[in-house]
Amino acid sequence: MTKEELMRRAIELSADSVRNGGGPFGAVIVRNGEIIAEGSNGVTIYNDPTAHAEVSTIRKACQKLNTFDLTGCEIYTSCEPCPMCLGAIYWAHLDKIYYANDRKDAAGIGFDDDFIYQEIELKPQYRKKPSEILLRNEAIKVFEQWTAKTDKTEY
């Protein structure tokens, strides 16, 4: 399949999502030109704020390939990924991102992620969502256990 055909599939999934009560987002993960997984936005369908098209599709691809590392795969998404999805794409090690609409287009229909991008740049004490360090001395022991573990699977 060509890049354009793969993007058209992501766009088709986004249109299907709108018809089925989801948000206007679709995604396809591809390896060597073959579709590995596809998905759409299910936030309102599943009452799951993490059920974005990209995250849902990453989950499906990882299950299908039985791995958490999608190196060698690319993602085609109908819109520029939000910060959560962008993070998931990096953690999944996808090789490349193709997108159709950009984040300004998304903001124009009420999906404005700019406030999250701005929050990420701030130190935690200046963010709008308060956060507080609690029981670090207890939690750090688990990190020490992880560091000492010789048979861990690193990611």
Tokens of 121: 């740049």
Is residue 80 annotated as a catalytic residue, yes or no?
no
Tokens 């992501």 belong to: 10
The CA-based angle 106-112-113, given to 5 degrees, is 110
Smallest Cα–Cα separation from 25: which of 69, 79, 93, 104?
Answer: 79
Smallest Cα–Cα separation from 13: which of 34, 41, 43?
Answer: 41
d(CA 87, CA 77): 14
From the list 5, 12, 54, 138, the catalytic residue is 54
Query: Which amino acid is located at 21 in the chain?
Result: G
146 CB-near residues (< 8 Å, 6+ apart): 152
Active site residues: 54
